[in-house]
Amino acid sequence: MEAEEIIALLPYQSPFLFVDGIETISEHHITGHYTFKEDEFFYEGHFKGNPITPGVILTECMAQIGLVCLGMYLVKDELRNSQKPQIALTSHQMDFYLPVLPGQKVIVHSEKEVFRFNKLKCKVKMLNEKEELVARGIISGMLKV
């Protein structure tokens, strides 16, 4: 399954799709990116005159790339027949180090820790274009195809 196919099958759309591309993907890891547009809906109120990307949105971006895209790749054979994946985030623990401003590109790296019975647990990290650590943590979810 190609990166473009995975992105097309994601159960998200604008303004809640936080995946622009996937650079690498395998059974063990994924690397993808997203650029936060300056007119994203959440910047208007977070914060007045000094917009930054909310941590929950950064977590969502890491989940979409690092958990959902990787998970869809892992169940690609089953997915070809169903085309309607169901995804549920089951847990996450994140640490945030740097803000992400409007217009910034982030790169998400995710490594599979466990994948059993369609439950996926990954170690994720987000870097900015300067390769500085923005956030990292553990994220888990269930996939049903």
Which residues are the active-site residues?
Answer: 46
What percent helix, strand, coil does the chain show, rounded to 5?
25, 40, 35
Tell me which H or E stretch contains 8: helix 3-9
Token pair for 139: 């994220």
Token pair for 101: 């401003």
Coil, helix or strand at residue 21: strand
